[in-house]
Amino acid sequence: MYVKETGSDAGYDKYITALEQAANNKMKAEIAKSIMKEKAPAFNLKDFDGNEVSLASLKGKVVVVDFWATWCVPCMKEMPYLQAVYNRYKDNPKVLFMVVNSGSGNTLQDAQGWKGNKTYSFPVYYTDEKLLGERFGFNVIPSTFIVSPSGYIQFRNIGFEGPAIEYKLSTAIDLLLSE
């Protein structure tokens, strides 16, 4: 289409870069408008070794909390995008990921035996607290929340949105890191 309109492929890369930048700016503006300032509920999660981690112990970090279950097909479709975001920030000490098997009919053993543990490298946690989703304000999984260093939910995404989630999460994390 570009060549047809311009008569040449000269400048195509610059054109694509400008389009990508415009899309990123639009996404950033949309996310900035939707930033929330809702106190995150207190919770304790267990890592796969059974060690408890509380949200309170993570003050000072941007915390990405993603709720899923092993039986949830949309959750499984989201995992590659979540992994891509994790890969981008895994070495940043100011960002922590908590990918939480929500226990909705799952046991800790189900979560530990999940075949994705061999595919994905993000840290997986478990909870059997039945009301945690309600306290976070969701009843659909996957559900992803980004908690600010001061303990406030600043971003929420309920349900699976395809590849857009990768850009949304990255943009929201970048906005919080720039504050």
Name the stretches of the chain with pLDDT < 50: none
Tens of pLDDT, residue by residue over 31-55, are: 666 677 789 998 888 888 888 998 8
Distance CA 121, CA 103 (A): 20
| pLDDT of the residue at 46 | 84
